Amino acid sequence: DSSSFLYEYNMKTEKLDKIELFENSQESIAKKDKPDFESILKKGDSIFVLGSGSTEKRMISASYHTKTKKSITKDLTYLFEKISQSSGVNKENLNIEGVANYKNKWLLFQRGNGAASQNGVFILEESLTNPSLIKYVPIILPEEKDVKATFTDAVLVKDKIYFLASAEDSNSTYEDGVVLGSWIGELNPTTFEIEFIEKITDTKKFEGITVYKNSKSEITFLLSEDNDSEILNADIYKLTIKKTTR
């Protein structure tokens, strides 16, 4: 989230490539200046990344076309203003940390780690940049030591959404705090009911999730850790869930 490159990692060759999203992409951008790309989604031949919206410099998106190898950036300031006006989540509490696309709807996962604790999902009808309708569904997650868990990422798997959440002892969308654990859960994208949620660590903050393997009996995810440091490495973890246990 401190970079304006899109990274491509080849699992077989273990080679990491960087793709410029801007004319002058940077690998380590100061916190006050970074676009804070916290959400990523592949739709068709395009990969979309979204800024969190938590500051004026974080209201931007970029899309990269895997065939033409071209990227396009867009200013989403107007969209974030519409989201705030329609949902009652003000700019000081806005913090998008995950995105999914389901049945012509864009689902933006709002991390409620601001002072107002507004954790939930923004539902954008038809279009990401110019939606015909915006709805907001508040979602309450577990607590740890009186600190509420809040969304950190999400991924669509067929007709279910699997999400990550973390509890961080801070009431700011900008400042980091003590990590009290992370959870994985399953959300129904039609009713927005939580169908299961389980704590997976007491100490780590996981902020990225994607599907690695999916079989009839189990599903394996890759999880990315955010260690809230200036060190430019990321640890990737595998998490396997037995489908028969739920």
User: What integer pLDDT is reported at residue 245 of this predicted model?
Assistant: 52
Question: pTM for this structure?
Answer: 0.92
List the domain boundaries for the chain. Answer: 5-245
Which residues neighbour 158 within 8 Å (Cβ) at sequence distance 6 or greater? Answer: none
User: What integer pLDDT is reported at residue 48 of this predicted model?
Assistant: 96
User: What integer pLDDT is reported at residue 229 of this predicted model?
Assistant: 53
Per-residue pLDDT of the chain (246 residues; tens, 9 = 90+): 788 999 999 989 999 999 999 888 888 888 889 989 999 999 999 999 999 999 999 999 999 999 999 999 999 999 999 999 999 999 889 999 999 999 999 999 999 998 889 999 999 999 999 999 999 999 999 999 989 999 999 999 999 999 999 998 876 656 667 899 999 999 999 999 999 999 999 999 999 999 999 999 999 999 998 765 566 677 899 999 988 655
| Closest to 99 in 3D by CA, of 150, 54, 38, 44 | 38
Neighbouring C-beta atoms of residue 93, cutoff 10 Å: 23
Q: What phi and psi, each to the nearest 5 degrees, are found at residue 85?
A: -65, -40
In contact, 57 and 33? CB cutoff 8 Å: yes
| Cβ burial 69-86 (10 Å sphere, 16+ → b, else e) | eebeeeebeebbeebbee
User: What integer pLDDT is reported at residue 115 of this predicted model?
Assistant: 86
Residue type, 246: R
- Complete DSSP assignment for the chain: ---SEEEEEETTTTEEEEEESSTT--SS--TTT---EEEEEEETTEEEEEE--SSGGG-EEEEEETTT--EEEEE-HHHHHHHHHHH---TTT--EEEEEEETTEEEEEE---STT---EEEEEES-SSS-S-EEEEE----EETTEE-EEEEEEEETTEEEEEEEEEE-S-SSS--EEEEEEEEEE-TTT--EEEEEEEESS--EEEEEEEEE-SSEEEEEEEE---SS-----EEEEEEEGGG-
User: What integer pLDDT is reported at residue 114 of this predicted model?
Assistant: 86
User: What integer pLDDT is reported at residue 49 of this predicted model?
Assistant: 96
CATH 3.40.50 holds for 5-245: no
User: What integer pLDDT is reported at residue 231 of this predicted model?
Assistant: 60
User: What integer pLDDT is reported at residue 234 of this predicted model?
Assistant: 74
User: What integer pLDDT is reported at residue 24 of this predicted model?
Assistant: 86
User: What integer pLDDT is reported at residue 142 of this predicted model?
Assistant: 95
User: What integer pLDDT is reported at residue 230 of this predicted model?
Assistant: 60
| Closest to 52 in 3D by CA, of 92, 23, 22 | 92
